[in-house]
């Protein structure tokens, strides 16, 4: 451990912390694994953190200390939980906490604890947005919160995070939670996904969010409902026409068909727009994903097995050689088993070459 | 396309993949073992057990652990791991969380951690420990407390509350701990009489996190992600609820499960009568679509520069990537099979020499996904859907670093996480390449000593050799009669 009489010691020289006996790290015999060259600053803050944690102290100074530790080690898996308890116990201003989280989240974009903590704070501020008693929450400065302004702040913060990284997994997960918690299903969320997709038609996270907004509400039928389905299929087709070689909307389309239990042949003509096999080979394919879907459409129809094979061969040899082995595998499946698209029911395993021992 | 390392190495031809510079990688890992990791690792201080696992397991895969460490050193590493054990079961993730020295203090802020417990047990196995000092009964009890009503597992237990997000990574680690401590068999543990975790609930929970495109996410409706997909598939293996029979002769029960619960839509619950009939709910409702999703992760977009729309040949946005264009250009581009027959290298600027994996649709490739996806496919018994050579070349010529180890992207400095998963991926690729040559026409098995890296167990992510030590341990514990031992690997 570093010598705490160093000039830079932050806590050791501070009279406010004089009552604390810092707990040095009990590492670890002669051969510790994965030892890290701790900075003096980190080692000191952690030593004080261990002491206050062991005392389960809930005080304002602990808020400063936990903040200090989090800024150096945001993946600490108990310091966030501890901090939340201290915040609540000391009736700290949770709006200020959110402001601090705004800065920290921008700094540590890959950290998930920050988002979990944020969710905890916002839930505390507004435990039950549906009831008018959003003010029923625990007492804290400024209790009696304006739900709409909280939601506006949160969504605009999320939007600013998307400006930094439009595919940040944690931010999208948090956005889903906001929608669920505050019931934002019909409050412009679909339009938000549309704008995100317009900004980048290849943003798969935005497509996934759209799926959530359309299908994720409890009790909602989503694309099983005809009106919704038609709207979604039309939207997806429009996006595919903009960029046919974009896997996201093709997956989305396949998802709609599967969820609504529609035959894939429903979109056969649409697929042919991008892969017309009646034309001389190769010149009229604008999307490998159209060929992929066509192969499935033909595969479930025994009479057109040869056409399915042709799609798979084109993919293998010409339009998607990066996955040549996969298309070869699909060809073999087709040979072994008539009528097997990848969306058919799980086939009898005995008929497939997939039954040799798996590793575990 | 940036290519920092390839200039320093001899470029291999498409049919002779480059060799792994084992010395260089061993040096990298010995440095991690013997000297302090730099301060840049402070944000990972709470994952030290994970870093320890990567270090020890990487040296094991390289066959460099025993030759470079003394028995005394290995015993000290084992002691260090046990020093992180929590008396009430499980392991903490870092000695920096240790509050046990405090008299009259509260231990609630020093809880056991689910991933750390998996990494600790796995590292002990690799080091050849007999797991005798593991608080087995307590850990099994604690593990049960880590499971939520919805079947998912948390990360830690603080004041009786399960903390940590809904996350299949915790489910994966928890099933691996369960597997190491009591095998696959369900029901109360025969020796400790500790109750089992709720296996059915976990299967339901994993099924609900299947996404509309065939991948899996951490919880319902989140985006499909290769890491979560791997974790779900591997967890299903650990609890013996994978939808395909794992032996060539499926039993009547196994035959029946394929017919009964797997439908495209919805989650089919296990009713008690099904339970009585010995038929269990299986995970993964559409395995073929999951294989499709995994195979779709192959990408020639291997550096962020590739994402720029340099060619402006399609109506799209700045966020576009090579894959989006490749079909236009690959229209007159020979395939890997075509290449061999024409004996010429492709001239297209979309060379398929280097192929990586992304973790999500329309993202750039990243070293670690070569493991998450490759291992996922291996566990789906479908590793042959990828051509190993271009992936191998991507790892060795693009993301391997001159000082040893692997970075995330081409040109990135190595880090412990990508360096380990890069090796793990290479080991699986080696196994897959071997399997591809197993047909009597083309060749034969490589003897073990000719392997570059030890063979990896795709499920536990340790060498098969290390995993195999479990057999004797299970026999000693009396939790296993050897009948459902699958031999490892
Ligand atoms: Zn990575």
Q: Which among B295, B437, B464, B488 is positioned nearest to B377, based on CA atoms?
A: B295
For residue A196, what pLDDT band results from cuts at 50, 70 and 90?
very high
Query: A51 at the B interface (CB within 8 A)?
Result: yes
Helix/strand/coil (H/E/C) assignment for every residue in chain B: CCCCCHHHCCCCCCCCCCCCCHHHHHHHHHHHHHCCECHHHHHHHHHHHHHHHHHHHHHHHCCCHHHHCCHHHHHHHHHHHHCCECCCCCECCCHHHCCCCCCCCCCCCCCCEHHHHHHHHHHHHHCCCCCCCCCHHHHHHHHHHCECCCCCECCEEECCEEECCCCHHHHHHHHHHHHHHHCCCCCCCCCCCCCCCCHHHHHHHHHHCECCCCCECCCCCCCCCHHHHHHHHHHHHHCCCCCCCCCCCCCHHHHHHHHCCCCCCCCCCCCHHHHHCCCCCCCCCCHHHHHHHHHCCEECCCCHHHHCCCCCCCCCCCCCCHHHHHHHHHHHCCCHHHHHHHCCCCCCCCCCCCCEECCCCCCCCCHHHHHHHHHHHHHCCCHHHCCHHHHHHHHHHHHECCCCCECCCCCCCCCHHHHHHHHHHHHHHHHHHHHHCCCCCCCCCCCHHHCCCCCEECCCCEEHHHHHCHHHHHHHHCCCCCCCCCCCC
Tell me the CA–centroid distance for residue B217 and ligand 1, in Å.
16
Nearest by CB to B379, which of A212, A317, A358?
Answer: A358
Tell me the CA–centroid distance for residue B424 and ligand 1, in Å.
13
Output phi, psi for B413, to 5 deg. -65, 155
Instruction: Tell me if B36 and A35 make a contact (CB, 8 A cut-off).
Output: yes
Query: A78 at the B interface (CB within 8 A)?
Result: yes
Query: A76 and A138 share a domain?
Result: no
Q: Which residues of B touch A342 (CB under 8 A)?
A: 286, 288-289, 291-292
Tokens read off for A236 = 């997806």
Instruction: Tell me if A258 and B212 make a contact (CB, 8 A cut-off).
Output: yes
Q: Which among A76, A12, A62 is positioned nearest to A41, based on CA atoms?
A: A12
Query: A97 and A68 share a domain?
Result: no
Q: Which of A58, A96, A110, A153 is catalytic?
A: A110
Last residue in a domain, options A184, A206, A232: A184
The confidence score (pLDDT) of residue A235 equals 98
Q: Which residues of A touch B460 (CB under 8 A)?
A: 360
Residue A303 has what DSSP assignment?
Answer: G
Tell me the CA–centroid distance for residue B13 and ligand 1, in Å.
27
Split into its structural domains, chain A has a count of 3
Q: Tell me, yes or no, whether A236 lies in a domain.
A: no
Scan residues 226-245 of A and list those with Cβ closer than 8 Å to B: 242-243, 245
Where in chain B do CATH 1.50.10.20 domains reside?
42-242+464-489
Active-site residue, A110 included:
yes
Tell me the CA–centroid distance for residue B353 and ligand 1, in Å.
21
The confidence score (pLDDT) of residue B306 equals 60
Q: Tell me, yes or no, whether A301 lies in a domain.
A: yes
Which residue on chain A is closest to B82 by alpha carbon? A28
Share of chain A above pLDDT 70, in %: 85
Query: A79 and A135 share a domain?
Result: no
Query: A49 and A129 share a domain?
Result: no
- Walk along chain B (489 residues) and give the pLDDT tens digit of each residue: 333 333 334 444 555 667 899 999 999 999 999 999 999 999 999 999 999 999 999 999 999 999 999 999 999 999 999 999 999 999 999 999 999 887 777 789 999 999 999 999 999 999 999 999 999 999 999 999 999 999 999 999 998 999 998 889 999 999 999 999 999 889 999 888 899 999 999 999 999 999 999 999 999 999 999 999 999 999 999 999 988 543 334 444 443 333 333 333 233 333 333 444 456 778 888 899 999 999 999 999 888 766 543 333 333 332 333 343 333 333 322 333 333 333 333 333 345 789 999 999 999 999 999 999 999 999 999 999 999 999 999 999 999 999 999 999 999 999 999 999 999 999 999 999 988 875 444 334 455 567 999 999 999 999 999 999 999 999 999 886 555 555 543
Q: How far is A145 from chain B (nearest CA, A)?
A: 27
Query: A10 and A72 share a domain?
Result: yes
Query: A317 at the B interface (CB within 8 A)?
Result: yes
Q: How far is B223 from chain A (nearest CA, A)?
A: 6
* pLDDT tens digits, one per residue of A240-294: 999 999 999 999 999 999 999 999 999 999 999 999 888 776 567 899 999 999 9
Q: How far apart are CA B212 and CA B218, in angstroms?
A: 14
Tell me the CA–centroid distance for residue A277 and ligand 1, in Å.
39
Query: A23 and A80 share a domain?
Result: yes
Q: Tell me, yes or no, whether A50 lies in a domain.
A: yes
* pLDDT tens digits, one per residue of A31-71: 899 999 999 999 999 999 999 999 999 999 999 999 999 99
pTM of the predicted model as reported, rounded to 2 decimal places: 0.88
Query: A105 and A58 share a domain?
Result: no
Report the mean per-residue pLDDT for chain A: 87
List the domain range (segments joined by +) for residue A40.
1-85
Query: A55 and A103 share a domain?
Result: no
Query: A96 and A66 share a domain?
Result: no
Query: A113 and A145 share a domain?
Result: yes
On whether the CB atoms of residues A274 and A285 are closer than 8 A, the answer is yes
Q: Which residues of B touch A252 (CB under 8 A)?
A: 212-213
Q: How far apart are CA A103 and CA B346, in angstroms?
A: 48
Q: How far apart are CA A18 and CA A144, in angstroms?
A: 39
Q: Tell me, yes or no, whether A220 lies in a domain.
A: no
Last residue in a domain, options A166, A184, A202: A184
Q: How far apart are CA B14 and CA A229, in angstroms?
A: 47
Which residue on chain A is closest to B43 by alpha carbon? A73
The confidence score (pLDDT) of residue B384 equals 93
Q: How far apart are CA B134 and CA B124, in angstroms?
A: 10
Q: Give start and end residues of each alpha helix (H) in A77-168.
A: 79-89, 94-107, 113-125, 147-164
* pLDDT tens digits, one per residue of A64-116: 999 999 999 999 999 999 999 999 999 999 999 999 999 999 888 888 899 99
The confidence score (pLDDT) of residue B248 equals 36
Query: A33 and A110 share a domain?
Result: no
Q: How far is A153 from chain B (nearest CA, A)?
A: 23
Question: Architecture of domain B42-242+464-489 in CATH?
Answer: Alpha/alpha barrel (1.50)
Tell me the CA–centroid distance for residue A161 and ligand 1, in Å.
21
Query: A96 and A63 share a domain?
Result: no
The confidence score (pLDDT) of residue B191 equals 85
Instruction: Tell me if A354 and B378 make a contact (CB, 8 A cut-off).
Output: no
Q: Which residues of B touch A27 (CB under 8 A)?
A: 95-96
Query: A21 at the B interface (CB within 8 A)?
Result: no
Residue A327: is its pLDDT beyond 70? Answer: yes
């Amino acid at each position: 451990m570093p010598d705490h009489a160093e000039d830079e010691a932050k806590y050791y020289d501070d009279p406010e912390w004089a009552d604390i006996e810092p707990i040095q790290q009990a590492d670890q015999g002669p051969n510790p694994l994965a030892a890290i060259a701790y900075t003096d600053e980190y080692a000191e803050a952690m030593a004080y953190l261990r002491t206050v944690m062991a005392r389960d102290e809930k005080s304002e100074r602990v808020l400063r200390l936990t903040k200090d530790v989090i800024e150096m080690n945001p993946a600490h898996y108990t310091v966030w939980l501890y901090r939340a308890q201290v915040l609540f116990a000391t009736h700290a201003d949770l709006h200020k906490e959110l402001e601090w989280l705004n800065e920290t989240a921008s700094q540590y974009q890959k950290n998930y604890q920050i988002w979990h903590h944020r969710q905890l704070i916002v839930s505390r501020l507004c435990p039950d947005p549906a009831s008018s008693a959003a003010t029923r929450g625990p007492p804290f400065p400024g209790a009696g919160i304006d739900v709409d302004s909280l939601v506006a702040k949160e969504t605009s913060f999320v939007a600013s995070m998307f400006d930094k990284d439009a595919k940040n997994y944690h931010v999208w997960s948090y956005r889903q939670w906001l929608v669920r918690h505050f019931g934002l299903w019909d409050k412009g969320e679909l339009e938000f996904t549309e704008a995100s997709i317009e900004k980048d038609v290849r943003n798969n996270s935005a497509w996934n969010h759209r799926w959530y907004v359309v299908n994720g509400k409890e009790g909602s039928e989503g694309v099983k409902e005809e009106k919704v389905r038609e709207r979604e299929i039309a939207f997806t087709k429009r996006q595919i026409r903009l960029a046919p070689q974009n896997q996201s909307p093709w997956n989305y389309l396949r998802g709609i068909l599967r969820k609504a239990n529609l035959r894939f042949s429903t979109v056969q003509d649409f697929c042919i727009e991008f892969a017309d096999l009646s034309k001389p080979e190769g010149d009229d394919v604008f999307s490998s994903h159209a060929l992929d879907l066509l192969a499935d459409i033909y595969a479930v129809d025994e009479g057109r097995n040869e056409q399915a094979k042709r799609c798979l061969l084109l993919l293998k040899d010409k339009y998607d050689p990066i996955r040549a082995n996969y298309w070869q595998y699909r060809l073999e499946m087709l040979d072994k088993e008539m009528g097997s698209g990848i969306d058919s029911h799980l086939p009898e395993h005995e008929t497939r070459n997939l039954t040799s021992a798996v590793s575990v | 396309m940036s290519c920092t390392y390839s200039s320093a190495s001899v470029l291999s031809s498409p049919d002779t993949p480059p060799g792994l510079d084992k010395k260089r990688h061993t040096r990298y890992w010995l440095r991690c073992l013997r000297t302090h990791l730099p301060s840049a690792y402070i944000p990972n201080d709470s994952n030290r057990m994970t870093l320890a696992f990567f270090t020890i397991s990487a040296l094991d895969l390289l066959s460099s652990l025993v030759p470079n460490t003394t028995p005394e050193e290995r015993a000290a590493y084992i002691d260090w791991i046990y020093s992180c054990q929590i008396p009430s079961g499980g392991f903490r993730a870092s000695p920096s969380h240790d509050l046990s020295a405090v008299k009259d203090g509260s231990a609630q802020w020093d809880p056991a951690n689910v991933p750390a417990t998996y990494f600790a047990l796995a590292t002990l196995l690799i080091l050849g420990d007999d797991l005798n000092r593991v608080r087995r009964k307590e850990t099994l009890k604690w593990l049960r407390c880590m499971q939520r009503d919805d079947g998912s597992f948390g990360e830690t237990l603080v004041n009786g509350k399960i903390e940590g997000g809904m996350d299949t990574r915790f489910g994966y680690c928890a099933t691996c701990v369960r597997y190491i401590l009591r095998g696959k068999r369900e029901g109360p543990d025969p020796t400790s009489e500790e109750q089992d975790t709720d296996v059915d609930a976990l299967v339901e929970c994993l099924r609900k996190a299947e996404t509309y495109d065939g991948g899996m996410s951490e919880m319902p409706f989140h985006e499909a992600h290769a890491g979560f997909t791997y974790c779900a598939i591997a967890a299903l293996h650990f609890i013996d609820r994978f939808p395909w029979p794992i032996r060539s002769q499926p039993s009547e029960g196994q035959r029946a499960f394929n017919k009964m619960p797997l439908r495209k839509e919805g989650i089919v619950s296990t009713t008690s009568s099904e339970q009585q009939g010995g038929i269990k709910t299986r995970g993964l409702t559409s395995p073929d679509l999951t294989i499709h999703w995994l195979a779709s992760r192959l990408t020639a977009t291997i550096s962020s520069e590739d994402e720029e729309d340099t060619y402006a040949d399609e109506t799209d946005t700045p966020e576009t990537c090579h894959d989006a264009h490749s079909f236009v250009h690959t229209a007159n581009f020979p395939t890997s099979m075509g290449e061999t027959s024409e004996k010429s290298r492709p001239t297209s600027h979309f060379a398929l020499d280097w192929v990586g994996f992304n973790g999500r649709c329309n993202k750039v490739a990243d070293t670690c996904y070569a493991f998450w996806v490759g291992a996922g496919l291996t566990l789906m018994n479908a590793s042959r859907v990828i051509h190993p050579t271009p992936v191998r070349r991507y790892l060795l010529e693009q993301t391997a670093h001159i000082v040893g180890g692997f970075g995330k992207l081409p040109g990135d400095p190595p880090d412990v996480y990508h360096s380990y998963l890069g090796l793990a991926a290479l080991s699986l690729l080696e196994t897959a390449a071997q399997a591809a040559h197993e047909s009597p026409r083309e060749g034969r098995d490589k003897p073990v000593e000719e392997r570059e890296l030890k063979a990896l167990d795709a499920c536990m992510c340790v060498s098969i050799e290390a995993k195999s030590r479990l057999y004797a341990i299970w026999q000693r514990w009396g939790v296993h009669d050897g009948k459902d031992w699958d031999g490892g690997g």
